[in-house]
């Protein structure tokens, strides 16, 4: 049974992340590689190549599909970025069919080990990533003045330790989910809590934000406002990511 909140209702309740018109569209025709231009429809854009660490100067859309392959930033030598130009937007839009029974997600954009999504180094007017209801956004890092908006029942998971949310911020809608796979709750409170808002309001633990360690000493999750649904979804999602990264 599809238990997602209907998109129309979510928008009425102002829980829906806004999207913008895009000119670059994922088609996933060949494989998962985001840097293979054959996986993109570039016909409406002046952009002709998608390369690591090179800003994509246009708005981008992944979803709703269906696709044979959903996008992944591959594991390349050194740290590489799927780099979005200043002021541009990456819209991640769920489809109608569940694409993986483990993560309970309807769309997916992930990175392999040590790779990132975000703006150019030194950016002060960075990009925006909009994560829709039912979509899994799982980069190792988010970098360079990027704003990530996560809609109700959307999920963002950051895989790195140290500074996985580097010079960037996350805004969560009610019942959105955010997890860190290699940060302690103390580290989160010290380093990342100030980077989180809930519906545009600064996050306050115990008020508009739940902080919960789900794997001892390693991972914790932030969710609003139903801890039971958060735990169910995140356990499945984290299990999937752990399997993919072995």
Q: What is the pLDDT of residue 235?
A: 52
Q: What is the pLDDT of residue 214?
A: 72
| Residue ranges per structural domain of the chain | 18-244
Structure tokens at 129: 């990533």
Using CA atoms, how far residue 117 sits from 123, 185, 186, 189, in Å, is 13, 23, 25, 23
33/213: higher pLDDT? 33
Q: What is the pLDDT of residue 105?
A: 86
What is the spatial distance between Cα 132 and Cα 4, in angstroms, rounded to a whole number?
11
Give the model confidence (pLDDT) of 73-95 as tens digits.
999 988 899 999 999 999 999 99
For residue 85, give the 3-state DSSP assignment: coil
């Amino acid at each position: 049974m599809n238990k997602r909140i209907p998109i129309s209702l979510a928008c009425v309740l102002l829980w829906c992340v806004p999207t913008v018109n895009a000119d670059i569209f994922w088609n996933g025709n060949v494989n998962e590689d985001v840097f293979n231009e054959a996986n993109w429809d570039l016909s409406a854009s002046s952009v002709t190549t998608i390369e690591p660490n090179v800003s994509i100067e246009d708005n981008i859309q992944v979803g709703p599909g269906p696709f044979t392959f959903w996008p992944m930033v591959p594991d390349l030598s050194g740290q590489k970025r799927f780099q979005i130009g200043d002021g541009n937007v990456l819209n991640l839009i769920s489809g109608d069919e569940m694409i993986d029974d483990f993560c309970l997600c309807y769309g997916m954009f992930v990175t392999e080990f040590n790779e990132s999504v975000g703006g150019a180094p030194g950016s002060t007017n960075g990009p925006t990533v909009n994560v829709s209801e039912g979509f899994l956004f799982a980069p190792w890092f988010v970098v360079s003045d990027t704003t990530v908006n996560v809609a109700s029942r959307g999920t963002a998971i950051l895989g790195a330790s140290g500074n996985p949310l580097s010079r960037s911020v996350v805004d969560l809608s009610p019942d959105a989910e955010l997890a860190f796979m290699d940060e302690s709750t103390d580290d989160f409170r010290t380093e990342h809590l100030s980077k989180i808002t809930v519906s545009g309001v600064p996050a306050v633990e115990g008020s508009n934000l739940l902080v919960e360690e789900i794997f001892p000493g390693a991972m914790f999750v932030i969710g609003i406002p139903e801890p039971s649904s958060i735990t169910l979804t995140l356990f499945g999602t984290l299990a999937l990511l752990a399997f993919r990264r072995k």
